[in-house]
Structures are given as C-alpha cells and as structure tokens.
Amino acid sequence: MLGSVNEKNAFLSELSAAEYAALRSHLAPLELRVGHCLHYLGDTVEEVVFPHCGLVAMSMPLRDNPGAAAALIGRDGLVGALGALAEAPAASDAVVHIAGHASRMSASAFRLVLDEHPSLRRRMARYSHGLVAQSQQNALCHAVHPVEARICRWLLTIQARCAGDKVPLTQSTLAQMLGVRRTTVTLIAGRLEALGIIRCHRGYMQIVNQDELERHSCECHAMLNGYVSKLLAASADGGGAVVVTTTGTGAPPPQPSRRVL
Amino acid sequence: MPLYTFELRDGSCGIADTAGVKLADRDQALGYAHHVIRELLKGGCDWQTGTWLLDVYEDHDERVFEIPFARLDETLDHLSPSLRSIIEDLRIRSLLLREAYMAARITVREARALVARSRGRPYLAADAGQRTIREDDEVDFSRRRYTAGVR
C-alpha cells in the first residue's frame, strides 16, 4: 500500500500502487516555510498540497482581527483538495505554521486523476469528511470550552502531527491559532509549567507529562481521534459504511459522547 | 509607548507575562487586561478561577491595575449589588489567604534550608525550578498586597 518509502504523507502512504502511480507523475516537491500562505480566502485554488511534515492551519481571518484556525493539516492530510475538486474559491487562508516539506500537484491534474479513479475519489471523500468533522469539533470547542483545556488539546493535536515531545510553536502563534491574546496563552502556559505538564522554551514548548496534559485537555481530542480512526479503519476495510447513531434504550444515556461507531 | 506587563495571581507564586504588550495608554491597558480575563473566564468560572486577580504593571515598575476576576464574572450578574460585593470580597479574601499560606510555606522551607546550610548539611536547593534560598529581590510580597479601590 505504500507508494514510496520516501513519502511520509499519510494520504499518499495509504494509496494502492495503482492509485499512487496515477498521482505520482503529477507530484512536485514543495518547501513549506513558516508564514507562507498556500492560498488566501476567496482565491482560486491552483494546487493541492500533500505535507510530509510541518503544519498548515486553515485560518479564518476577520476584518480587524487575525481570526482563528478552523482546522489543522499536517502529514495526515492534504491542503486545498476540496476547493480544487469543487473548482470553488478557497474557504479559508492556508498558512504554514511549522516548516516542513510537501508534494504538490495542480488542481486540474488532481481533478483529472480523481475522475479516472473512482476508488481515489472515495478515499478523498472520506478524508474530506474527516476534515469537516475536525472543523465542526473545533467550532464547538472554540465556543464552549475553557481556554486552558483548549490549549492542552491543541498541544496534543499539534504534537501528534510532529514527531517527538516538542511542539515547535511560539506562544504568539498558538494564540493566533486559538483566537485569543498572547498574554492569555503565556499565563496558561505558565500554570501548566508550574504543574510540571509542559516546559516553555524560546520558540517551542515541550510536553513533559503527556498523561496530565490529556487530563487537562477537553474531550474534543479523544472524540475526534476516535471518530477519525474509525473512519480510516472503515476505509482500510474497503470503504465500508461508518455508522453513526445515537442510542441508549433502557440504559442511561452515554456521557459525554453519544456517538457510537 | 509604555510597556504593560501582567501577573496572574492564582494563589501560587504568581505567573508573570514579562514580555508584555506596548499600548498607547492605561485605558488601553485596562481594556486589554479585561479581554484577557474574559478569555480566561470563558467556558465557565469555577470557584478557583473566580478568586484570581490580574495585576497590570507599567514599564516593569508601577502597578497600575489590580483587577479581580470576580469583577468581570457574568455568573454573578443576577445578584444585587450589595450581595455581589460581598461575594467579590469573599473571593479576594480567599485568594489572599491562599497567598499568605503559600508565602508561609516558602518561608518555612527557606528557613529550614538556611539552617541546614549553616550546619553544613545537605538542603533542598531548588523546587520546580525555584531556588529555595531566595535572593533579596526575588520575591517581594509587599508589592502584591491587595489595596482597596483598585479597578
């Protein structure tokens, strides 16, 4: 199933040899530099980017405010795929927050390959569904959860996309992604550091106690991880249906999640 | 423009944002501090968060504001002004008690370390990155005394 030993992007890695061969000739290397915007809100999406490492935030800017990140894409996904498929303007900025490298291909070639390979299109639809789930979960999280729990959750999310215990983000960048002031992140990071959960360094944060960080995080991290892993497992099984129901006859309603996969 | 720095008083030794932000004047600094407090209160104010204070310093020197979180706690909005005032006062007293307890603990630990050192015995040099035997300018609790009439 692995397209190439050098490829680290999860979407590419999970393709069959035939699927990967269809994409391969269109792929070109791309360096992801911090601050680089792959596309802006409202722009035509010209290319699809498959990060092998690094982190891209899909951010929604406001008129007088940097806004907040609606979704994060690392080596687990691809940037610009939905816009390219729909030939629609980008629904958000795609800003690189952690440097890395990627493969890219033109939007027109991407559409062509997906038209010729229904299995690839199904995979793409499943991935897009996961991205929508992430955006919905983030919207809920931004709206209702305390900032400390959100910071913990985002540290876990970002750590999962970078190898090791270091999260190479400044507090300022994290604040921008969460849509809060930098001082708020600094004060919460100070509390977490005093509790021995993280250690703050210039330019990065180090996770010292993963279990405690998970305990301080909101439920969104576990919920989304569970959902996406079921989605990927169903995909690996040959595209079987993912059943999402709300059940509980006779028994007390499951809390906090009523999602049964 | 003056640099405004912040210290969160949560009953521990305090957490400082020494990098701070440059703002035009004290009114802007107050507005910024209120935003920070609202962000920290968002998602529910538990009993502990409701007792916190945010101090604002101008150019690392003068403390210009000392803002109780209870003052901005929307869950107290339904109370009558007199009852709200009592609750706010209780929360501040609760924080001051925790700070006094923390200061006493640190002093006892330091005293033990000083005695051990004077006798040439091993002693706890540091805890959680903080030196047990402090330098003169390391902790100035008098600076953190709560004063009535702050905004």
For a pLDDT cut of 90, what percent of chain A falls above it?
57
Model confidence over A226-251: pLDDT tens digits? 888 888 777 666 544 444 333 333 33
The residue of chain A nearest to residue B10, with distances taken between CA atoms, is: A191
Residue of B nearest to A181 (CA): B36
Rounded to whole angstroms, the Cα distance separating A28 from A52 reads: 12
d(CA A49, CA A29): 9
Please give the residue of chain B at the shortest CA–CA distance from A195: B128
B79 is a domain residue: yes
Model confidence band, residue A185 (pLDDT cutoffs 50, 70, 90): very high
Contact A155, A210 (CB under 8 A): no
Nearest to B36 among A183, A191, A196 (CB): A183
Percent of chain B clearing pLDDT 70 (strictly above): 88
**Confidence at B68, pLDDT banded by 50, 70, 90:** very high
Query: Would you say residue B18 lies in a domain?
Result: yes
Is B8 within 8 Å of A187 when comparing Cβ atoms? yes
B149: in domain: no
Q: Which residues contact A117 (CB under 8 A, 6 or more apart)?
A: A18, A19, A22
Residue B136: the pLDDT is 65
List of chain B residues whose C-beta atoms are within 8 Å of the C-beta of residue A190: 8, 15-17
Residue B150 lies in a domain: no
What are the tokens at A215? 């305990």
pLDDT for A254 equals 40
- Cα A72-A127-A111 angle, rounded to 5 deg: 105
State the average pLDDT for chain A. 84
What is the C-alpha to C-alpha distance for residues B89 and B117, in angstroms, rounded to an integer? Answer: 42
Q: Running DSSP on this structure, what letter comes out for residue A160?
A: H
Contact of B47 with chain A, judged by CB distance below 8 Å, is answered with no
Among candidates B10, B15, B39 on the partner chain, residue whose Cβ is nearest the Cβ of A180: B39
Cβ–Cβ gap A144/B8 under 8 Å: no
Structure tokens at A228: 């996406």
Residue B138, pLDDT score: 60
Residues A26-56: tens digit of each pLDDT: 999 999 999 999 999 999 999 999 999 999 9
d(CA A216, CA A222): 12
- Judged by average pLDDT, the poorest of A61-70, A233-242, B60-69, B93-102 is A233-242
ipTM of the complex: 0.84
- Structural domain tally of chain B? 1
When pLDDT is averaged across residues A14-19 and rounded to a whole number, the result is 88
Q: What is the mean pLDDT of residues A103-112?
A: 94
Give the mean model confidence (pLDDT) for residues A101-124.
Answer: 92
Rounded to whole angstroms, how far apart are CA atoms B25 and B2? 7
pLDDT of residue A246: 33
pLDDT for the residue A164: 77
Does residue B148 sit within a domain?
no
Nearest CB to B43; choose among A145, A182, A188: A145
Residue B149 confidence (pLDDT) above 50 = no
CB atoms within 10 A of CB A67: 16
pLDDT at A247: 33
Residue B6 touches chain A, beta carbons under 8 Å: yes
CB nearest B43 (choices: A146, A188, A194): A146
Distance of residue B112 Cα from the nearest chain A Cα, in angstroms: 22
Task: Specify the pLDDT at position A66.
Answer: 72
Q: Measuring CA to CA, how many Å separate A241 from each of A115, A236, A261, B97? A: 22, 11, 10, 58
Identify the weakest region by mean pLDDT among A218-227, A233-242, B77-86. A233-242
> Residue A239: helix, strand or coil by DSSP?
coil
The whole-number pLDDT of residue B12 equals: 84
| Residue B40 touches chain A, beta carbons under 8 Å | yes
Residues spanned by the domain of B117: 3-143
Q: Write the residue in B39, B42, B128 that is nearest to A194 by C-beta.
A: B128
Chain A positions in Cβ-Cβ contact with residue B20 (cut-off 8 Å): 183
- Whole-number pLDDT of residue A237: 60
Q: Is the pLDDT of residue A255 over 70?
A: no
Q: Is residue B151 in a domain?
A: no
Of A61-65, A87-91, A222-226, which range is least confident? A61-65
Instruction: Find, in chain A, the residue whose alpha carbon is nearest to that of B49.
Output: A146
Amino acid at B5: T
Evaluate if residue A18 carries a pLDDT over 50: yes
Please enumerate residues of A whose Cβ is less than 8 A from a Cβ of B: 144-149, 180-184, 186-188, 190-191, 194, 196
- The residues that bridge with B30 in the sheet, in sequence order, are none
Residue predicted with more confidence, B136 or B72: B72
> How long is chain B?
151
Contact between residue A188 and residue A146 where contact means Cβ atoms under 8 Å apart: no
Condensed to tens digits (0 to 9), the pLDDT of residues A190-217 reads 999 988 899 999 889 999 999 999 999 9
Residue of A nearest to B43 (CA): A146
- The size of chain A, in residues, is 261
Query: What phi-psi label fits residue B2: left (phi over 0), alpha (psi between -120 and 50 degrees) or beta?
Result: beta
B17 to A181: CB separation less than 8 angstroms, yes or no: no
Q: What is the pLDDT of residues B11-67, one digit of tens each?
A: 888 899 999 999 999 999 999 999 999 999 987 767 788 999 999 999 988 899 999
* Residue A36 exposure: Cα atoms within 13 Å on the Cβ side: 15
Least confident of A6-15, A28-37, A143-152, A175-184: A6-15
Out of B6, B32, B44, whose CB is closest to A146? B44
B60 within 8 A of B22, measured Cβ to Cβ:
no
Tell me which residue of A2, A57, A48, A52 sits closest to A27, measured CA to CA. Answer: A48
pLDDT recorded at residue A233:
76
B13 close to A (CB below 8 A) = yes
Mutate to test the interface with A, among B4, B10, B12, B15 (most CBs of A within 10 A): B15
Q: How far is A111 from chain B (nearest CA, A)?
A: 42
- When pLDDT is averaged across residues B116-132 and rounded to a whole number, the result is 88
Stretch among A112-116, B51-55, B142-146 having the lowest mean pLDDT: B142-146
Residue B98 lies in a domain: yes
Strand partners, A32: A100
List of residues 6+ apart from B22 with CB closer than 8 A:
B1, B2, B3, B4
- Look at residue A6 and tell me whether its pLDDT is greater than 80: no
Q: How large is the average pLDDT for residues A84-92? A: 91
Q: How many beta-carbon pairs under 8 angstroms link A with B?
A: 49
Cβ(A73)–Cβ(A58) below 8 Å: yes
User: How far apart are the C-alpha atoms of A206 and A200, rounded to whole Å?
Assistant: 6
d(CA A241, CA A46): 32
**Nearest CB to B40 within list A145, A184, A196:** A184
- The pTM (predicted TM-score) of the whole model is 0.83
- The number of CA neighbours under 13 Å toward the Cβ of A113 is 22
pLDDT of A257: 42
